[in-house]
Structure 1
């Protein structure tokens, strides 16, 4: 029987065994038998990010490296399936599946590939299919787009006893990897499998921002009610999903949830200050700078402006053939903190306006501590809509009941309707403050990492 008392919930996620508890608890990192130096940890850089001087001069060590340093002890004795992609790497940049396989310490029986695939060769909205991995001989199952029933079938076919999730998220509700994790958690409840998250930093920090998803607009880019920039690591999200959503949706919580925590990270540290190498989570997320802008500028997917796909700076270059120099000037005059708008011209090689010259802006974050990506994205939408009669919302014929993609991205028709009615940035942002505050209170008991703006 499930115990709903908060302390009992915390104990359930920690687990009963001392060795695992020492591994999984961030507070125990300094007393662990494996010193940080043995994990190849390095001090945070003191340059490159304007607020880096305020960050703790401590190494940031992903959960995968901590599990590896402990000889994968957390995974021994079970048949293990891993959900990962090219971001599931150690600090030596080797993939965790390859390392587990070669170690001989893990009974690795299957790999599950999300959007873009296990080895990362597929574009947006694609996957690599199911195949046998040449390096390891393991079957890699296509998990992208698989519902709970199909994922449950895959787990049973592979006879998986422990499911491991290790993917670098970018902190936005519409990035699909967290929904692959959510689906896998439901399948783990159905099969009785244990769920282990090898945690990684949230590259945009730990502050929650933006509007809430509503039940009528859920989709693959927002399957449950969380805010647009959730401000959690995948480990924290797993704890939130387990406590808040699984009992109602799956009928129970996970039999066991373990989070191998990130060492040395706190909530105000963006990826550029971690000292970690950034591996592209997807083909259109090339740098940590892209990730900083993405929770706001991805909203341009829901318009007839290019969001920069088909350029070398997707989600930083935004524009259209009908835009001119006035947009950059207006955004510069808006006084948005932490960001600079450069007047820019580009010609996308694919996606919207492919082969057509576009004018617009390049979004450059010059102070991550002051930058609010969602508010900035709203200001960009409001300004573009007011300047250009050609501005329009993207409509999808495949979903006639909910044709506007922006509604799925923002969680409801509210933002679109406000902008169409001439609302300004302050009014649009003010509309979600109560739901954001409620979400922030709700998530507190599931947070692992502390620091400013928790």
Structure 2
């Protein structure tokens, strides 16, 4: 089968190489081809997928679509780990031409995380077919989010081919991510364990963030919220190199909370996210302590292991293996926090936590509570009210599958309105063109008369005239557009752009230059000159750790750049990249609150 790499082993839950006839659940790809083919017929189709994009008989979605006489597949898009799943976590993934089909394969985890206008020039409708694992720090759902942004920006249709949440759709755990703890892995405000399918997430984001995407979800047949993956009868395909089994996928949302500390999650072993520990941990003592804590659904066995790569490569690590007795009983976030708590208590002098833990857990208060030895129960109580509110007032409005929680009703399509750009920021005195798009409850595009849009702006930060936002006073507020029965809102920040720091990292394929900002901006430009690049940020100012009179940053060990000079001139921040060649290929992947320039080697 096309793109089923040998490194991605597949195992049926029935223990057979084929699962034909055993599945209780029909995934979205099969429902599309059997019942919803009119959604793609006669259109140019782009597919975002990886090796998990298979039907119940392990046939690749790529093959199924490419070989179908009524489907015109024109482009492929790959997330982290790539189309073939052969890239390690965090590795830069290149675009290329597929030898078998001749189709372009565009990377969404390399120079850009969002499909560009050029990538979508031969695409009318984007399909998303990837198996998620139910955690808010697993990157695939954010690839979906970026695809939705591109679909809104470039006016493309987007269809989600839904798949099961393998850890079930009933439990919701962890703090709801705060707005100042957002990164690629956590771009939207979700709790650690969200209990939703990718189709439900897309539906929620389209409305809650006023994206205005022409969105359709091909629902599964037979899936129920109280199912775990083993209940579906579908074959399990490892979702990434370090999530080889259903057990790993289940535990990930809990034991991933050991990351960004001096503990290891078992990467580099045959049981990642099941084996956890550190070289300074006594495995027997840890197993005894964890079993005393009587955590429902799991027990612990002392274990010693030597990672082959990653953290503590080649070192003997003491710890435990987490064994699941009853997955339906496990509170995964509690499991992760108890493991952190017990190992910190065993050797507090050796325990460390990086600043990135805030982005991992999604809450600024939790890292301090952990380091201050607060009880796990008190930590979990700290987010309970906010989580309960999010569940009842947000999440439960967008559920597509039963059994529905008490008080919740099945989601009914109600149409949507969106305001572009999705990241709306401006400096006092700056103007930004706004675009409004929308679709009715039947998915038909609204024919919007701009003169009939009613605009309002809160908090005296500016006004909208003739579809243009005019920023006046510094502050945060909302821009609201009303068109008939539809309303959309967009958060807006009016402030000067502060460049707070300039950092760099040298990777095998590229040198990455990072400009840390006080907010997300998209109005910068890069001017190419002989042996130089000029980054210009209108209304940009020098702040943070940088010299407010301007200065230079020396770039060590890069084969392509020697230094960066920066200064402020005519209401503009200007950074000059001093290159080691006359020209260079570069990319600007999107990040929140920073500008990133990748200079290719």
State if a TM-score over 0.5 links the two structures.
yes
- Segment of structure 1 superposing worse, 341-350 or 123-132: 123-132
Partner residue in 2 for 1:257: 215
* Deviations, residues 181-226 of structure 1 (Å, cap 9, x unaligned): 0011011001111110000000001121111111111111101211
CA distance in 1, matches of 2:62, 2:352: 42
Choose which of 42, 53, 67 in structure 1 pairs with 2:22. Answer: 42
Partner residue in 2 for 1:368: 327
Partner residue in 2 for 1:226: 190
Local SS of the residue matching 1:124: coil
CA distance in 2, matches of 1:295, 1:276: 21
Choose which of 196, 199, 207 in structure 2 pairs with 1:235. Answer: 199
Task: Provide structure 2 residue ranges, at least 5 long, that are not aligned to the other structure.
Answer: 1-18, 407-601
Greater share of residues in helix: 1
1:302·1:405 contact (CA, 8 Å) conserved in 2?
yes
Please list, as runs of the form range in 1=range in 2, the aligned pairs for 1:376-415 lying within 5 A after superposition.
376-395=335-354, 404-415=355-366
1:296·1:376 contact (CA, 8 Å) conserved in 2?
yes
1:117·1:127 contact (CA, 8 Å) conserved in 2?
no
Shift of 1:275: 1.0
CA distance in 1, matches of 2:346, 2:235: 40
Partner residue in 2 for 1:101: 66
CA distance in 2, matches of 1:346, 1:180: 33
Choose which of 329, 333, 336 in structure 1 pairs with 2:292. Answer: 333
Please list, as runs of the form range in 1=range in 2, the aligned pairs for 1:167-206 lying within 5 A after superposition.
167-206=130-169
1:114·1:142 contact (CA, 8 Å) conserved in 2?
yes
Query: Is 1:312 the equivalent of 2:264?
Result: no
- Bigger relative contact order, structure 1 or 2 (CA pairs below 8 A, ≥6 apart): 1
CA distance in 2, matches of 1:326, 1:430: 28
Partner residue in 1 for 2:414: none
CA distance in 1, matches of 2:21, 2:208: 35
Query: Is 1:78 the equivalent of 2:37?
Result: no
Task: Provide structure 1 residue ranges, at least 5 long, that are not aligned to the other structure.
Answer: 1-38, 44-58, 396-403
CA distance in 2, matches of 1:317, 1:102: 42
CA distance in 2, matches of 1:146, 1:268: 39
Structure 1 residues 453 and 79, CA gap change in structure 2 (3 angstroms): same
Shift of 1:364: 1.2
- Segment of structure 1 superposing worse, 444-453 or 123-132: 444-453
After the TM superposition, which segments of 4 or more aligned residues of structure 1 sit over 3 Å from their partners? 70-73, 145-148
Q: How many residues align?
A: 385
Local SS of the residue matching 1:152: coil
Local SS of the residue matching 2:379: helix
Q: Give me the CA root mean square deviation.
A: 1.7
Greater share of residues in strand: 2
Partner residue in 2 for 1:302: 260
